[in-house]
Amino acid sequence: MPKFITFDVMDTIQLKDLSFKPYISSAEIATAVKNVAARINEDLAGKNPLFLCVLNGAFVFAADLFREITIPGAEIAFIRMKSYIGTQSSGEVQLVSGLTEDISGRTVVIVEDIVDSGFTLKQLKSILQECNPAEIKVATLLFKPESLKCDVTIDYVALDIPPAFIVGYGLDYDELGRNLKDIYSVVQD
Ligand code: 5GP
Ligand code: MG
């Protein structure tokens, strides 16, 4: 079996050609997720929100976030989009697998792993808007404010980060690293 991930004494990891260093611990992530969930529980109480997890990257965040949601009518569904090739946003966003649920008249909460340029989110919002939801909210684990290139509203951000490329907790580098419990940032050379 090829060995893709190696650990050294400094906790730096190697994924294919790139090195990553520990950046946000699983404990810090858990606290941030709980804080976001508490705000959502308060804001959307009494509604029956449909949480829409954007696969693949948001699957870990969505699982942790959704279990902190105490709104009795809360439901979850999954949609698949892709915009990254390697460590660069391709600029072209593809809807790889579509929505089967009826969202008309409902409160939809898009659950994203990370908002970078914002193009994925903007396009997803316009696709969903055509299905006449009552409202669309956005919850993201991570937000890179300095990378935002379009006008899009984000209602709930767990953690703001600078523009560096990160992996772990669902986020990948060429499909590797999604299983890391902590978040790592790329080591620039
Ligand atoms: P955007 O369209 O906002 O530029 O990018 C959104 C998507 O690109 C995210 O949902 C995520 O899948 C991917 N992405 C953006 N920044 C990063 C990053 O630092 N690391 C990883 N692994 N994926 C990222
Ligand atoms: Mg994503």
Could you confirm whether domain 5-186 is CATH 3.20.20.70?
no
41-80 pLDDT, tens per residue? 999 999 999 999 999 999 999 999 999 999 999 999 999 8
Q: What is the pLDDT of residue 127?
A: 86
Ligand 1 centroid–CA 47 distance in Å is 30
Residue 144 and residue 119 in contact, taking contact as beta carbons nearer than 8 Å: no
Q: Which atom of ligand 1 is nearest to the CA of 112?
A: 10
Q: What does the alpha-carbon distance between residue 95 and residue 1 come to, in Å, rounded to a whole number?
A: 33
Per-residue model confidence (pLDDT) at position 3: 53
All structural domains of the chain with their residue ranges: 5-186
Per-residue pLDDT, 6: 52
pLDDT at site 84: 57
Q: Note the pTM of the prediction, 2 decimals.
A: 0.91
Q: What is the pLDDT of residue 88?
A: 66
Return the pLDDT at 60. Answer: 98
- Using 50 as the pLDDT threshold, list the residues of the chain that sit under it: 1, 9
Residues with a CB atom less than 6 Å from ligand 1: 57, 83-84, 89, 112-121, 165-167, 171-172
Please indicate whether residue 116 is annotated as part of the active site.
yes
For ligand 1, the distance from its centroid to the CA atom of residue 103, given in whole angstroms, is 25
Mutate to test the pocket of ligand 1, among 82, 116, 153 (most ligand atoms within 8 A of CB): 116
Distance CA 14, CA 172 (A): 13
Whole-number pLDDT of residue 99: 85
The answer to whether 182 touches 24, Cβ cutoff 8 Å, is yes
